[in-house]
Amino acid sequence: MRHGKYPFILSFLALPVGLYAWLVLVPFAQAFQISFTDWSGSTNQFDYIGFDNYLNLFKDERFVIPAIRNTGIILLVLPLVTIAMGLFFAFMLNIGGRSRQGRIEGVRGAQFHKIVFFFPQVLSLAIIGILWKQVYAPPGFGGLIAGGLEAIGLPAPDNGFLADKDLVLASVIGVLVWSAVGFYLVFFSSAMASIPRDFYEAGIIDGAGRFQLFFRITLPLLWESVQTAWIYLSIIALDVFVLIYMMTPERGGPDGRSEVVGGVIWKYAFKHGEQAFASALGVVLFFVALTLAVVALRIGRHQRIEY
Protein backbone atom coordinates (compact mmCIF):
# COMPACT_ATOMS: atom_id res chain seq x y z
CA MET A 1 0.00 0.00 0.00
CA ARG A 2 1.39 3.34 -1.02
CA HIS A 3 1.89 5.44 1.97
CA GLY A 4 -0.20 8.60 2.11
CA LYS A 5 -2.35 7.99 -0.92
CA TYR A 6 -5.62 8.47 0.87
CA PRO A 7 -4.87 11.76 2.58
CA PHE A 8 -3.86 13.03 -0.83
CA ILE A 9 -7.09 11.98 -2.49
CA LEU A 10 -9.15 13.12 0.46
CA SER A 11 -7.58 16.55 0.34
CA PHE A 12 -9.06 16.98 -3.11
CA LEU A 13 -12.42 15.45 -2.31
CA ALA A 14 -13.13 17.00 1.05
CA LEU A 15 -14.10 20.43 -0.14
CA PRO A 16 -16.34 19.49 -3.09
CA VAL A 17 -17.96 16.60 -1.25
CA GLY A 18 -18.41 18.73 1.83
CA LEU A 19 -20.04 21.52 -0.13
CA TYR A 20 -22.20 19.06 -2.00
CA ALA A 21 -23.32 17.43 1.19
CA TRP A 22 -24.07 20.73 2.83
CA LEU A 23 -25.73 22.54 -0.02
CA VAL A 24 -27.49 19.64 -1.74
CA LEU A 25 -27.87 16.61 0.50
CA VAL A 26 -28.74 18.42 3.72
CA PRO A 27 -31.47 20.56 2.09
CA PHE A 28 -32.86 17.38 0.52
CA ALA A 29 -32.96 15.74 3.89
CA GLN A 30 -34.53 18.86 5.36
CA ALA A 31 -37.26 18.86 2.74
CA PHE A 32 -38.25 15.44 4.08
CA GLN A 33 -38.32 16.78 7.61
CA ILE A 34 -40.22 19.93 6.67
CA SER A 35 -42.83 17.99 4.72
CA PHE A 36 -44.06 16.47 7.98
CA THR A 37 -44.62 19.85 9.62
CA ASP A 38 -47.02 22.76 9.17
CA TRP A 39 -44.17 25.23 8.60
CA SER A 40 -45.17 28.32 6.60
CA GLY A 41 -41.66 29.38 5.69
CA SER A 42 -41.63 32.72 7.43
CA THR A 43 -41.47 31.81 11.09
CA ASN A 44 -39.30 29.65 13.27
CA GLN A 45 -42.23 27.87 14.88
CA PHE A 46 -43.78 24.72 13.52
CA ASP A 47 -45.51 21.54 14.61
CA TYR A 48 -45.24 18.05 13.27
CA ILE A 49 -48.46 16.95 11.63
CA GLY A 50 -47.52 13.54 10.25
CA PHE A 51 -48.65 12.67 6.74
CA ASP A 52 -51.34 15.34 6.46
CA ASN A 53 -49.52 17.29 3.76
CA TYR A 54 -49.17 14.17 1.65
CA LEU A 55 -52.84 13.31 2.03
CA ASN A 56 -53.89 16.84 1.15
CA LEU A 57 -51.67 16.92 -1.93
CA PHE A 58 -54.01 14.74 -3.90
CA LYS A 59 -57.11 16.64 -2.84
CA ASP A 60 -55.85 19.91 -4.35
CA GLU A 61 -57.73 20.16 -7.61
CA ARG A 62 -56.82 23.77 -8.24
CA PHE A 63 -53.06 23.26 -8.45
CA VAL A 64 -51.60 19.86 -7.68
CA ILE A 65 -53.87 17.65 -9.77
CA PRO A 66 -53.66 19.79 -12.94
CA ALA A 67 -49.91 20.13 -12.38
CA ILE A 68 -49.45 16.38 -12.16
CA ARG A 69 -51.54 15.91 -15.28
CA ASN A 70 -49.63 18.54 -17.25
CA THR A 71 -46.23 17.38 -16.08
CA GLY A 72 -47.27 13.85 -17.05
CA ILE A 73 -48.15 15.01 -20.55
CA ILE A 74 -44.84 16.83 -20.91
CA LEU A 75 -43.02 13.79 -19.58
CA LEU A 76 -44.54 11.65 -22.33
CA VAL A 77 -44.41 14.06 -25.22
CA LEU A 78 -41.16 15.96 -24.76
CA PRO A 79 -38.64 13.07 -24.83
CA LEU A 80 -40.52 11.29 -27.59
CA VAL A 81 -40.73 14.25 -29.94
CA THR A 82 -37.28 15.61 -29.16
CA ILE A 83 -35.52 12.29 -29.58
CA ALA A 84 -37.46 11.47 -32.75
CA MET A 85 -36.60 14.83 -34.27
CA GLY A 86 -33.01 14.74 -33.02
CA LEU A 87 -32.48 11.31 -34.52
CA PHE A 88 -34.14 12.25 -37.77
CA PHE A 89 -32.08 15.40 -38.23
CA ALA A 90 -28.86 13.73 -37.14
CA PHE A 91 -29.50 10.92 -39.59
CA MET A 92 -30.20 13.34 -42.42
CA LEU A 93 -27.14 15.41 -41.65
CA ASN A 94 -24.81 12.42 -41.44
CA ILE A 95 -26.16 9.65 -43.59
CA GLY A 96 -29.28 10.89 -45.27
CA GLY A 97 -27.70 12.55 -48.30
CA ARG A 98 -27.33 11.08 -51.70
CA SER A 99 -24.31 8.79 -51.85
CA ARG A 100 -21.53 10.07 -54.04
CA GLN A 101 -19.25 7.47 -55.55
CA GLY A 102 -20.30 5.01 -52.93
CA ARG A 103 -19.50 7.42 -50.05
CA ILE A 104 -22.18 7.96 -47.46
CA GLU A 105 -22.75 11.63 -46.67
CA GLY A 106 -25.24 13.96 -45.11
CA VAL A 107 -27.47 16.41 -46.91
CA ARG A 108 -25.85 19.47 -48.41
CA GLY A 109 -24.91 22.21 -45.94
CA ALA A 110 -24.92 19.79 -43.02
CA GLN A 111 -22.41 21.81 -41.02
CA PHE A 112 -24.44 24.97 -41.43
CA HIS A 113 -27.64 23.21 -40.37
CA LYS A 114 -25.93 21.81 -37.32
CA ILE A 115 -24.96 25.28 -36.16
CA VAL A 116 -28.40 26.69 -36.82
CA PHE A 117 -30.11 23.89 -34.93
CA PHE A 118 -27.69 24.21 -32.04
CA PHE A 119 -28.27 27.92 -31.71
CA PRO A 120 -31.12 27.87 -29.15
CA GLN A 121 -28.86 25.90 -26.84
CA VAL A 122 -26.67 28.98 -26.50
CA LEU A 123 -29.52 31.15 -25.20
CA SER A 124 -30.51 31.07 -21.58
CA LEU A 125 -33.94 29.64 -20.85
CA ALA A 126 -35.16 32.98 -19.50
CA ILE A 127 -34.35 34.69 -22.79
CA ILE A 128 -36.02 31.91 -24.72
CA GLY A 129 -39.12 32.45 -22.60
CA ILE A 130 -39.26 36.18 -23.32
CA LEU A 131 -38.58 35.61 -27.02
CA TRP A 132 -41.34 33.07 -27.46
CA LYS A 133 -43.82 34.99 -25.37
CA GLN A 134 -43.64 37.61 -28.08
CA VAL A 135 -43.71 35.07 -30.91
CA TYR A 136 -46.91 33.61 -29.45
CA ALA A 137 -48.55 37.03 -28.85
CA PRO A 138 -52.00 37.93 -30.26
CA PRO A 139 -52.04 38.78 -33.99
CA GLY A 140 -52.57 42.51 -33.49
CA PHE A 141 -49.71 42.74 -31.02
CA GLY A 142 -46.73 41.52 -32.99
CA GLY A 143 -47.44 37.82 -32.57
CA LEU A 144 -45.31 36.24 -35.27
CA ILE A 145 -47.13 32.94 -35.60
CA ALA A 146 -50.70 34.14 -35.11
CA GLY A 147 -50.03 37.12 -37.39
CA GLY A 148 -48.49 34.87 -40.02
CA LEU A 149 -51.39 32.43 -39.91
CA GLU A 150 -53.83 35.29 -40.27
CA ALA A 151 -51.89 36.78 -43.17
CA ILE A 152 -52.25 33.63 -45.20
CA GLY A 153 -55.89 33.25 -44.27
CA LEU A 154 -55.62 30.40 -41.77
CA PRO A 155 -57.42 30.42 -38.42
CA ALA A 156 -55.31 31.93 -35.65
CA PRO A 157 -56.11 32.22 -31.94
CA ASP A 158 -57.50 35.76 -31.40
CA ASN A 159 -55.79 36.17 -28.06
CA GLY A 160 -52.51 34.58 -28.96
CA PHE A 161 -51.39 31.06 -28.19
CA LEU A 162 -50.55 31.47 -24.53
CA ALA A 163 -53.95 32.87 -23.54
CA ASP A 164 -55.74 29.97 -25.21
CA LYS A 165 -56.65 27.22 -22.77
CA ASP A 166 -56.34 24.49 -25.37
CA LEU A 167 -53.09 25.64 -26.92
CA VAL A 168 -51.01 26.86 -24.02
CA LEU A 169 -49.49 23.53 -22.98
CA ALA A 170 -48.70 22.51 -26.56
CA SER A 171 -47.09 25.92 -27.10
CA VAL A 172 -44.84 25.48 -24.09
CA ILE A 173 -43.86 21.97 -25.18
CA GLY A 174 -43.11 23.39 -28.63
CA VAL A 175 -40.61 25.81 -27.14
CA LEU A 176 -39.02 23.05 -25.08
CA VAL A 177 -38.58 20.90 -28.15
CA TRP A 178 -37.23 23.82 -30.16
CA SER A 179 -34.67 24.61 -27.51
CA ALA A 180 -33.60 21.02 -26.89
CA VAL A 181 -33.58 19.46 -30.33
CA GLY A 182 -30.32 21.14 -31.42
CA PHE A 183 -28.39 19.68 -28.55
CA TYR A 184 -29.66 16.17 -29.19
CA LEU A 185 -28.97 16.56 -32.88
CA VAL A 186 -25.31 17.19 -32.10
CA PHE A 187 -25.34 14.52 -29.42
CA PHE A 188 -26.72 11.86 -31.78
CA SER A 189 -24.50 13.09 -34.60
CA SER A 190 -21.37 12.42 -32.65
CA ALA A 191 -22.70 9.02 -31.65
CA MET A 192 -23.47 8.23 -35.28
CA ALA A 193 -20.03 9.32 -36.32
CA SER A 194 -18.63 6.42 -34.32
CA ILE A 195 -20.66 3.89 -36.29
CA PRO A 196 -18.33 2.50 -38.99
CA ARG A 197 -19.31 3.54 -42.49
CA ASP A 198 -18.77 -0.03 -43.67
CA PHE A 199 -22.00 -1.08 -42.00
CA TYR A 200 -23.98 1.31 -44.12
CA GLU A 201 -22.08 0.48 -47.27
CA ALA A 202 -22.69 -3.17 -46.65
CA GLY A 203 -26.34 -2.38 -46.11
CA ILE A 204 -26.59 -0.42 -49.34
CA ILE A 205 -24.95 -3.22 -51.29
CA ASP A 206 -27.56 -5.54 -49.84
CA GLY A 207 -30.19 -3.19 -51.22
CA ALA A 208 -31.34 -1.49 -48.01
CA GLY A 209 -33.15 1.83 -48.31
CA ARG A 210 -32.74 4.77 -45.96
CA PHE A 211 -35.52 3.59 -43.68
CA GLN A 212 -33.94 0.22 -43.30
CA LEU A 213 -30.51 1.74 -42.75
CA PHE A 214 -31.94 3.82 -39.98
CA PHE A 215 -34.04 1.22 -38.22
CA ARG A 216 -31.73 -1.75 -38.74
CA ILE A 217 -28.34 -0.15 -38.24
CA THR A 218 -28.42 3.35 -36.74
CA LEU A 219 -31.06 3.02 -34.07
CA PRO A 220 -29.88 -0.27 -32.55
CA LEU A 221 -26.31 0.99 -32.38
CA LEU A 222 -27.39 4.29 -30.83
CA TRP A 223 -29.56 2.70 -28.21
CA GLU A 224 -27.42 3.74 -25.27
CA SER A 225 -27.33 7.36 -26.41
CA VAL A 226 -31.07 7.34 -26.85
CA GLN A 227 -31.46 6.03 -23.34
CA THR A 228 -29.25 8.73 -21.91
CA ALA A 229 -31.15 11.36 -23.85
CA TRP A 230 -34.40 9.95 -22.51
CA ILE A 231 -33.29 10.34 -18.92
CA TYR A 232 -31.99 13.88 -19.46
CA LEU A 233 -35.15 14.95 -21.24
CA SER A 234 -37.34 13.38 -18.57
CA ILE A 235 -35.52 15.42 -15.96
CA ILE A 236 -36.09 18.56 -18.04
CA ALA A 237 -39.74 17.57 -18.39
CA LEU A 238 -40.12 17.28 -14.62
CA ASP A 239 -38.90 20.84 -14.23
CA VAL A 240 -40.10 23.28 -16.97
CA PHE A 241 -40.55 25.86 -14.22
CA VAL A 242 -38.61 28.64 -15.93
CA LEU A 243 -40.61 28.67 -19.15
CA ILE A 244 -43.93 28.54 -17.33
CA TYR A 245 -42.77 31.35 -15.07
CA MET A 246 -41.58 33.52 -17.94
CA MET A 247 -44.24 32.88 -20.55
CA THR A 248 -47.66 31.86 -19.36
CA PRO A 249 -50.38 34.11 -17.94
CA GLU A 250 -50.32 34.09 -14.13
CA ARG A 251 -47.41 31.61 -14.27
CA GLY A 252 -49.45 28.50 -14.93
CA GLY A 253 -52.58 29.87 -16.55
CA PRO A 254 -54.83 30.60 -18.20
CA ASP A 255 -56.99 29.02 -15.54
CA GLY A 256 -54.39 26.47 -14.47
CA ARG A 257 -53.99 24.93 -17.92
CA SER A 258 -50.21 25.11 -17.80
CA GLU A 259 -49.53 24.46 -14.13
CA VAL A 260 -46.56 22.14 -13.68
CA VAL A 261 -45.28 20.46 -10.53
CA GLY A 262 -42.18 22.66 -10.29
CA GLY A 263 -44.27 25.81 -10.64
CA VAL A 264 -46.79 24.68 -8.04
CA ILE A 265 -44.00 23.96 -5.55
CA TRP A 266 -42.80 27.52 -6.06
CA LYS A 267 -46.31 28.93 -5.71
CA TYR A 268 -46.97 27.16 -2.44
CA ALA A 269 -43.54 27.87 -1.02
CA PHE A 270 -43.22 31.54 -1.87
CA LYS A 271 -46.63 32.90 -2.85
CA HIS A 272 -48.90 31.12 -0.43
CA GLY A 273 -46.49 30.71 2.45
CA GLU A 274 -46.96 26.94 2.73
CA GLN A 275 -43.40 25.66 2.68
CA ALA A 276 -44.29 22.36 4.29
CA PHE A 277 -46.93 21.54 1.70
CA ALA A 278 -44.49 22.54 -1.05
CA SER A 279 -41.84 20.32 0.49
CA ALA A 280 -44.22 17.37 0.48
CA LEU A 281 -44.81 17.88 -3.22
CA GLY A 282 -41.05 18.20 -3.72
CA VAL A 283 -40.46 14.90 -1.96
CA VAL A 284 -43.02 13.20 -4.19
CA LEU A 285 -41.30 14.69 -7.22
CA PHE A 286 -37.95 13.44 -5.94
CA PHE A 287 -39.20 9.86 -5.79
CA VAL A 288 -40.85 10.09 -9.19
CA ALA A 289 -37.60 11.32 -10.74
CA LEU A 290 -35.63 8.59 -8.99
CA THR A 291 -38.03 5.85 -10.09
CA LEU A 292 -37.99 7.16 -13.61
CA ALA A 293 -34.21 7.07 -13.87
CA VAL A 294 -34.01 3.57 -12.44
CA VAL A 295 -36.77 2.25 -14.69
CA ALA A 296 -35.31 3.88 -17.78
CA LEU A 297 -31.91 2.36 -17.12
CA ARG A 298 -33.28 -1.09 -16.32
CA ILE A 299 -35.81 -1.49 -19.10
CA GLY A 300 -33.56 -0.54 -21.92
CA ARG A 301 -30.68 -2.85 -21.08
CA HIS A 302 -29.22 -4.05 -24.32
CA GLN A 303 -26.25 -6.09 -25.19
CA ARG A 304 -23.29 -3.93 -26.03
CA ILE A 305 -21.90 -4.37 -29.49
CA GLU A 306 -18.22 -3.87 -29.85
CA TYR A 307 -16.96 -2.44 -33.10
Partner 1 sequence: MRKPIPNPHFSRRGLLGTSAAGLAATSLAACATSGGDADTEDVEVGGDDENPFGVDGSAPLDVVIFDGGFGNEYAVKHQEMYNRLYPDAEISHLATQQIAETQQPRFAEGRPADVIDNSGAQEIPIDQLINDGELAELTPLLDAPSFDDPNVTVRDTLRAGSLEKGTFNGEVYALNYAFSAWTIWHDNKLFTDHGWEAPTTWDEMLELCPDIQAAGIAPWVYTGVHPVYLYDMFLMLAGRHGGVDVLKAIDNLEPDAWGHDSVGMAAEAMYKLWEDGYVLEGAPGLDHIQSQTAFNNREAAFIPVGSWLPNEQREIAPDDFEYAPIGVPYLEGSVQPGLISAGGEEPFIVPDKAANKPGAYEYLRLMLSQEGAQIFGDTVSAATVVEGVELDNLAAQLTDELVSNPDDLFQPQFRFWYSRMDEEVRPALGSLMSGESTPEEFLDRMQTVADETADDDSIEHFTHD
Q: Residue 37 or 234: which CB sits closer to partner 1?
A: 37
Q: Residue 18 or 109: which CB sits closer to partner 1?
A: 18
Specify the stretch interacting with partner 1 by CB under 8 A; choose among 2-10, 68-76, 215-223, 295-303: 2-10
Instruction: Yes or no: say if 256 and 62 are a contact pair by the CB < 8 Å rule.
Output: yes
Q: Residue 18 or 220: which CB sits closer to partner 1?
A: 18
Cα 129-134-139 angle, rounded to 5 deg:
145
Chain-centre distance of CA 303, in angstroms? 27
Q: Residue 49 or 107: which CB sits closer to partner 1?
A: 49
Contacts with partner 1 in 38-67 (CB under 8 A)? 39-46, 62-63
**Rounded CA separation 226/243 (Å):** 25
Q: Residue 53 or 218: which CB sits closer to partner 1?
A: 53
Query: In the set 32, 58, 112, 270, which binds partner 1 (CB under 8 A)?
Result: 270
Sign of torsion over alpha carbons 118, 120, 123, 126? negative
Q: How many CB atoms lie under 10 A from the CB of residue 152?
A: 7
Instruction: Please name every residue paired with 103 in a beta bridge, in sequence order, or none if there are none.
Output: 100
Find the Cα–Cα–Cα–Cα dihedral 154, 160, 164, 166, rounded to 10°: 40
**Rounded CA separation 145/132 (Å):** 10
Q: Does residue number 239 form part of the binding site for partner 1 (CB under 8 A)?
A: no
Q: Does residue number 263 form part of the binding site for partner 1 (CB under 8 A)?
A: no
Query: Which residue from 176, 174, 180, 177 is spatially nearest to 161, judged by alpha carbons?
Result: 174
Query: In the set 65, 169, 273, 280, which binds partner 1 (CB under 8 A)?
Result: 273
Query: In the set 97, 149, 159, 228, which binds partner 1 (CB under 8 A)?
Result: 159
CB of 210 to partner 1, least distance (A): 42
Q: Does residue number 253 form part of the binding site for partner 1 (CB under 8 A)?
A: yes
CB-based contacts of 287, cutoff 8 Å, min separation 6: none
Interface ranges with partner 1 (CB under 8 A): 2-5, 7-8, 10-12, 14-15, 18-19, 22-23, 26-27, 30, 33-34, 37, 39-46, 62-63, 137-141, 157-160, 162-165, 249-250, 253-256, 270-275
